[in-house]
Structure 1
Amino acid sequence: MAPFLAYEDKGPTSGSASSRPPHATPVPLVLVHGHPFDRSMWSPQIEAFSPGRRVVAPDLRGYGASPAGRPLTDFSGFARDIEALLDELAVDSCVLAGLSMGGQIVLDCYRLFPERLRGLVLADTSPASETPQGVRARDAMADRLLAEGLGGYADEVLERMVAPYASARVKAHVHAMMTGTSPQAAAAALRARARRRDHTALLPRVRVPALVVVGADDTYTPVSGARALHAALPDSTLHVVEGAAHLPNLERPEEFDRALAAFLARVDARQPSPAPPRP
């Protein structure tokens, strides 16, 4: 259950739009942040899109203002938390957007409750499971974060999370999110993420539109991986954001938002189709 998640819920709710026919109601947008961040990474998108549609942005379990709750051992616990929050907020269906780890959570949500998702936004993310080397690296990083906190890690990776030429304001925001994250929650997420499912086989079965976005200078999830993700999805659009690294929604919000706005308009115009069978 996830009523404990902290979240922002802005824009017209389903209740205020109930007089409109369903096809005229903008689809709610739910934003899932990456690691080790919080919901404030979506501040530009919340501001841009909440005047015209309902936008929900939670802090994942143990991140931001959300308490850790029960210990996370299964990566799908994040998806179950999102599902419970949708229930709590009476969001029957939505476009679900996630960046990096958030994109992996979005794919897990589609695996678990595809009937509630009208579109997917997969930004700077990968569908594959972790390699044996990656498992060892994530476990070692979890140990390090528990021993040292996130300060040294944040200093080391800041100019990979955002490009070295990103603005000082963006760098400060990203650094503050990382250093504000609980080491215990970050370590638990790293261990669970290291053992996540491989969603590669799920991609050809996705029956809703998808938007794949990637920063042109992202070294964590490079453009080549985004092109492969785009090719594997039956109905997807690829947008490469120039002048950005791993967080294009913060580094180049205007361009990111233009791509997202075009995608949302397309989803809004599309009539819901019968729910697909669960994989």
Structure 2
Amino acid sequence: MSDVCSFTARIDDVTLAYTDRGEGPVLLLLHGHAYDRSMWARQIEVFAELGWRVLAPDLRGFGASGITEGIVYTEEFADDVAGLLDHLGVPAAVVVGFSMSGQIAMELARRHPGRVRGLVVVDTVPEGEDRAGRRRRHTTADAILAGGMETYGRSVLGRMVADATVESCPGVAAEVLAMLRSAPAKGAAAAMRGRAERRDLSDVLRGLRVPVLVVVGADDVFDGGAGRRMADLAPDAQLVVIDEAGHTPSLEQPAAFDDALRAFLQRFTH
């Protein structure tokens, strides 16, 4: 990613860093928990070359963006994204949300109707947390603050990428671990607490009147059938399963991921 394409914007009470590359209809790429916008480096280049204006922010608390301590709710992240679109004069975008930001993207569609031309959700779930899940996320947030991102990153790496990726593409595993280790602990903990309190977004999918692409890594340990459920909920949705990929198919199998996204985006260019 060239530095010439990197910018910052003050959105309400936080400064967001973002990449803005290319010209054309807008493709908005949102990273997952404890990642940052660098996860989309390949896609930014590929789709800018294909005639898209690609926006990729560091979400509040991650990367080079400002940090809010305590708790950041999914709704706040969605409002940040809408604020960035306002700042840039972008009325609507095709939105790609990965893991945590899949939920942010769905919340964006709920809170800001009309801002989402198309929705791509990658290895996420639509449901909110039950009592045990909420407790587990708050416990994880406590552990992040107590033990730091080095310990957290190593503890979750095996769930972020498939075992086969670690063996055959150690560079990808190292890239994911580097993102996790470098994430601000206070930002990661605040987002984790917010995820504990998120709403059930199933009705958002049911009510969508835009095309939806659901992407799932075949070996994603978090999926549990969520990809199929989301594809069944949205009226105009398709499901793509990426073989030999775990939770992060855009990095583990980038060519297959890009092919799926490219095919979906053709619906918006004709």
Secondary structure (helix, strand or coil) at the match of 1:260 reads helix
Which residue number in structure 1 is paired with residue 78 of structure 2?
79
Q: Which runs of 5+ in 2 are unaligned?
A: 1-10
Give the fraction of aligned pairs with identical amino acids, expressed as a percent: 46
Cα root mean square deviation, aligned? 1.3
Which residue number in structure 1 is paired with residue 44 of structure 2?
46
Q: 1:209–1:267: 8 Å Cα contact kept in structure 2?
A: no
Say whether residues 1:125 and 2:112 are aligned partners.
Answer: no
1:1-279 paired onto structure 2 within 5 Å: 1=11, 4-12=15-23, 26-51=24-49, 52-69=51-68, 72-166=71-165, 167-222=169-224, 224-269=225-270
Output one character per residue of 1:244-263: Cα deviation in whole Å (capped at 9) or x when no partner: 00000000010000010011
Q: Distance between the aligned counterparts of 1:127 and 1:45, measured in 2? A: 24
Flag as ranges the 4+ runs of structure 1 deviating above 3 A. Answer: 69-73
Letter in 2 for 1:195: E
Q: 1:123–1:213: 8 Å Cα contact kept in structure 2?
A: yes
Larger relative contact order (Cα-Cα within 8 Å, sequence gap ≥ 6): 1
Q: Distance between the aligned counterparts of 2:159 and 2:73, measured in 1? A: 27
Q: Distance between the aligned counterparts of 1:73 and 1:125, measured in 2? A: 18
Larger proportion of strand: 2
Output one character per residue of 1:101-129: Cα deviation in whole Å (capped at 9) or x when no partner: 01000000000112121100000001100
Q: 1:218–1:246: 8 Å Cα contact kept in structure 2?
A: yes
Output one character per residue of 1:70-103: Cα deviation in whole Å (capped at 9) or x when no partner: 7544320000000010011111111011000010
Query: How many residue pairs align between the two structures?
Result: 255
Q: TM-score, normalised by structure 2?
A: 0.91
Q: TM-score, normalised by structure 1?
A: 0.89
